[in-house]
Amino acid sequence: MGADPQDLKYKGERTSLIIGENVTIRELATVHRGTVGGGGATVIGDGCLIMATVHVAHDCRLGPGVVMSSYAVLAGHITIGEGAIIGGLTAIHQFCRVGPHAFLGGFSGLSKDMPPFMAGGAGGGRHLVISGPNSIGLRRRGVPQATIDALKGAYNIICRNHRPLGEVLAETEAKYGAVPEVRTVVDFYRSSERGVYR
C-alpha cells in the first residue's frame, strides 16, 4: 500500500494514498500513491472491497462500496463510481470511468467509459458488450422496479441502435428525463472524453 507510482513523470514528489473507513484489502493487492500531475492522491472510498492480487495504479479514485475482484487491474487516472463491481481478470485503460452501480463482468477489457447502472462484459469476444441495466445489483440496493424499467428503456434507446449519440440522448431525455438515474446516464455520456460503450 502506498508504493511509489509507476509513472515516468514521477520524480519523488510528496503524494498520497487515501483509504476510507471499513475498507477490506486482501493479500497481494497493490495500491500506489498519486502523482502531482494527477491531483496528488489515489483515493479508495469507504466500504470498498479490494480482493487478492488486484492492482490500483496512481491517481485512481474509487467511490464508496466499490468491489474489485481478484486479478482486476486499473491503470492510472481511472474513476470508479459508487457501488460499481469490477469482475476478476479485468483490465481498465488509463483515464477511463466506470459509472456508479455498474457491473463489469470478468475477463473484460475496458478502453472507453462504462455507463452508470449498466452491466456488461466481454460477451465471448474481444469487444465489450453492454447487456442492459445491472438489475440484480440495483434490486439488491433497493432501487424501485419503476426506476430499473426506466433504465431499461434508456438502454434500449441508447445502446440498441446505431443512430447518432446526440439524437438518442435527446430522445432518452425526453422520454425518461424525470428519472434521476436516467439523467445520470445521459449526463455521463455527454461528459465523456474517451467515449462511452453503447
Cβ neighbours of 130 (radius 10 Å): 20
- Per the domain annotation, does 119 fall within a domain? no
Domain stops at, among 46, 64, 95:
95
Active-site option among 76, 83, 87, 105: 76
- Per the domain annotation, does 125 fall within a domain? no
Statement to judge: residues 21 and 86 lie in one domain: yes
User: Which has more pLDDT, 63 or 162?
Assistant: 63
What is the reported pLDDT for 71?
97
Q: Can you give the pTM of this predicted structure? A: 0.96
Q: Give the strands of the sheet with 103-104, arranged side by side.
A: 24-25, 49-50, 67-68, 85-86, 103-104, 118-121, 129-133
Q: Give the strands of the sheet with 73-74, arranged side by side.
A: 30-31, 55-56, 73-74, 91-92, 109-110
- DSSP type of residue 194: S
76 annotated active-site = yes
Q: Which CATH number does the domain housing residue 178 bear?
A: 1.20.1180
What is the reported pLDDT for 24?
98
- Per the domain annotation, does 48 fall within a domain? yes
- What gap in Å lies between CA 42 and CA 6, rounded to an integer? 13
- The predicted-structure confidence for 32-43, as pLDDT tens digits, reads as follows 999 999 999 999
What is the reported pLDDT for 49?
98
pLDDT, averaged across the chain? 96
58 annotated active-site = yes
- Per the domain annotation, does 21 fall within a domain? yes
Q: Which CATH number does the domain housing residue 76 bear?
A: 2.160.10.10
- What gap in Å lies between CA 163 and CA 27, rounded to an integer? 46
> Helices 145-159 and 165-176 sit at what angle, rounded to 10 degrees?
160
**What is the domain range of residue 51?**
16-95
Statement to judge: residues 29 and 84 lie in one domain: yes
Q: Is the pLDDT assigned to residue 54 strictly greater than 70?
A: yes
Residue 104 bridge partners (DSSP): 86, 120
Q: Residue 174 — pLDDT band, cuts 50, 70, 90?
A: very high
- What gap in Å lies between CA 159 and CA 170, rounded to an integer? 14
- Per the domain annotation, does 47 fall within a domain? yes
59 annotated active-site = yes
Active-site option among 59, 105, 113, 137: 59
- Per the domain annotation, does 165 fall within a domain? yes
How far apart are the two ends of the chain, measured CA to CA in Å?
35
What is the reported pLDDT for 123?
64
Q: Which three cell numbers stand for residue 146?
A: 419503476
- Per the domain annotation, does 113 fall within a domain? no
- The predicted-structure confidence for 105-163, as pLDDT tens digits, reads as follows 999 999 999 999 999 998 666 689 999 999 999 999 999 999 999 999 999 999 998 99
Active-site option among 32, 55, 58, 77: 58
